[in-house]
Chains A and B, each alone.
Chain A
Amino acid sequence: GQQVMQIPQYQHVQEGEDFTTYCNSSTTLSNIQWYKQRPGGHPVFLIQLVKSGEVKKQKRLTFQFGEAKKNSSLHITATQTTDVGTYFCADGTSYGKLTFGQGTILTVHP
């Protein structure tokens, strides 16, 4: 997997505000996976994106894969306190190895 950079490192929002985290690579990504890790917990799979320009939605979460397959984003609409945690993107290889970004820590203030 390629090295992926995530921004921002931290994001503090008021409950109800939107949140977006970005994942960028200097080279073409094979596929992108997104994981959520609650404080003190373990990473939990959210979604995998494979196709150029792909957009997938899960309730209030929208995931995008760039046309050039060099970037991806996760957008949360109307954040809730249950959204608190660290969101990681990870670049995957054909044989299953994942290279994780450094994550974006989301704090939601009620």
Chain B
Amino acid sequence: EAGVAQSPRYKIIEKRQSVAFWCNPISGHATLYWYQQILGQGPKLLIQFQNNGVVDDSQLPKDRFSAERLKGVDSTLKIQPAKLEDSAVYLCASNLPGTGELFFGEGSRLTVL
């Protein structure tokens, strides 16, 4: 079974530029999450989708971050404009609604210079 796919794996940009990350969850997983993991910290939830609807985006910095999952399958997370403190690994995860285990992708490592 294919896992959660993410791209790009690495991205280096300058502050105030924009960046987009893509995630394709495991087939059939209705729930999709974007987490931000800053070096030395645990993952922090940015946004949770169920199908194409947002369940929780309370910790998403909406002035610069946006995410969509238009067809309820793959998702895009965008940052515009980026700040130095956005340097982190952006992890996508998915699971079946009501089940506990999250399946994480390899992550997209962002460096903002």
A residues whose Cβ falls under 8 Å from a Cβ of B: 31, 33, 35, 41-45, 48, 88, 90, 92, 95-103
Contact = CB atoms under 8 A, between A and B. Distances in A.
Contacts, number: 54
Given A31-B100, A33-B100, A45-B101, A98 B41 contact: no
A46 to B, nearest CB: 9
Given A96-B95, A102-B41, A42 B104 contact: yes
A45 B102 contact: yes
Nearest to B98: A96
Q: How many B residues are at the interface, by size bracket?
A: 20 to 34
A42 B106 contact: yes
Determine chain A's interface SS by DSSP, over half rule. strand
A88 B56 contact: no
Contacts of B100: 31, 33, 45, 48, 92, 96
A44 B105 CA distance: 10
Contacts of A43: 43, 91, 102, 104
Given A33-B100, A33-B101, A45-B101, A99 B91 contact: no
Interface string B62-102: 00000000000000000000000000000100010110111
